[in-house]
Homo-oligomer: A and B are copies of this chain.
């Protein structure tokens, strides 16, 4: 299969690319990659799809938003997060659906903070919850058997270490399995969680 990974240079994106490249042709898109895309910029998403053409699956491991308590978040933080992690990923579906083959799939990324909020996750809990709502509804009207799902990644170990948060979390390699399941399994309008951790 031909699979477009958006955010391929990131910690999760690299692991997804590595995992899926054993059996599939992967097209890696990222902000400064061979195929470049900026989620905040709708025109750049359209341009990416023109470059890439038809694919069997689109997997987004991209999208960001600011951490911090409500009174530290600025108008710009909200605008960036809504434009990037939310509308950027929604636009991956809006502008890319016609590029996905029959019975193909699109996978977006939400995150564990949707279900496990804290006082610093006001924006990310909002964005992740929105992404999850979007896939539930968008999947219902998807044409040609295209499945639309989200993965809700847990804290990734490599990221925790990089941020100096200890060595907890789940290795990116294991998080990549969730994307494989969401992209190539039978899920439809679902949010795929790392259940062992959530339980």
Contact = CB atoms under 8 A, between A and B. Distances in A.
Interface of A: 42, 69-71, 73, 75, 78, 82, 86-87, 90, 93-94, 97, 113-114, 117-122, 124-130, 132-134, 136-138, 140-142, 189
A2 to B, nearest CB: 23
Contacts of A127: 130, 133
A93 to B, nearest CB: 7
Nearest to A129: B133
Contacts of A93: 70
A117 B129 contact: no
B134 A125 contact: yes
Q: Count this chain's copies in the assembly.
A: 2
Contact of A140 (B114, B119, B124): B119
Given A70-B93, A78-B87, A134 B126 contact: yes
10 contacts: A42-B75, A70-B93, A71-B94, A82-B87, A90-B126, A113-B137, A119-B140, A122-B137, A129-B129, A130-B133
A132 B134 contact: no
Contact of A141 (B69, B86, B132, B134): B69
Contacts of A121: 137
A137 B73 CA distance: 13
Contacts of A70: 93-94, 97, 138, 141-142
Contact of A82 (B42, B82, B129): B82
Contacts of A69: 141
A15 to B, nearest CB: 26
Contact of A129 (B42, B78, B132, B140): B132
A25 B134 CA distance: 38
A71 B90 CA distance: 12
A90 B73 CA distance: 11
Contact of A114 (B73, B133, B138): B133
